[in-house]
Amino acid sequence: MTKRLIILFTFVLIMAEGHPQIVFRNSHNEQVYVAMCRYIASEGYWMTTGWFTIGKGGERLVFESISAKDTIGYWAMTTISEQKFEGKKNLIVNDDTKFIIKYADKPETASQNANFSWRKFILLRLPPGTTEGTINLK
């Protein structure tokens, strides 16, 4: 029995090392809404998903199984002052409700729903060998 536990524990540690994690930390003085993006290289498209709410001082695990080769990103906005955290990559979100949008970089996708609009996402990649990261919104 002990040998099985050691093997299982070793397997869990190996799997944890192979799957980096990204956590959002809200250091802002108000709640934030976050949309995330990911480039799905195996199929050649961008996907966006949202909205995730993170309370003042809160944290949220958002990407739990990415590789250092993945391109991921986010767009966020505070709830009261509407301060935006934005970058340069234009991708589609749904302003009205929670969403998952495939082909979020395509104009033809944007035209499918009147509630879709473009946002400029901040893109990032984990440095090689990194197993976790924190995005601090402040």
- What is residue 67's predicted lDDT score, i.e. its pLDDT? 64
In the chain, % of residues over pLDDT 70 = 75
pLDDT reading at 133 higher than 80: no
The one-letter code for the residue type at 9 is: F
In a domain, 128, yes or no: yes
Domain that holds residue 101: 20-137
Q: Look at 116 and 3; give whichever has higher pLDDT.
A: 116
Residue 9 maps to a domain: no
Which CATH number covers residue 24?
2.60.40
Number of domains into which the chain is organized: 1
Indicate whether 72 belongs to any domain.
yes
Q: What is the pLDDT of residue 19?
A: 58
The answer to whether residue 45 sits within a structural domain is yes
Q: Is 13 inside a domain boundary?
A: no
82 within domain boundaries: yes
- Per-residue pLDDT band for 43 (boundaries 50, 70, 90) equals confident
Query: Could you tell me which residues are beta bridge partners of residue 33?
Result: 53, 77
Q: What is the dihedral of CA 122, 123, 125, 126, to 10 degrees?
A: 20
Residues linked to residue 52 through DSSP beta bridges, in sequence order: 34
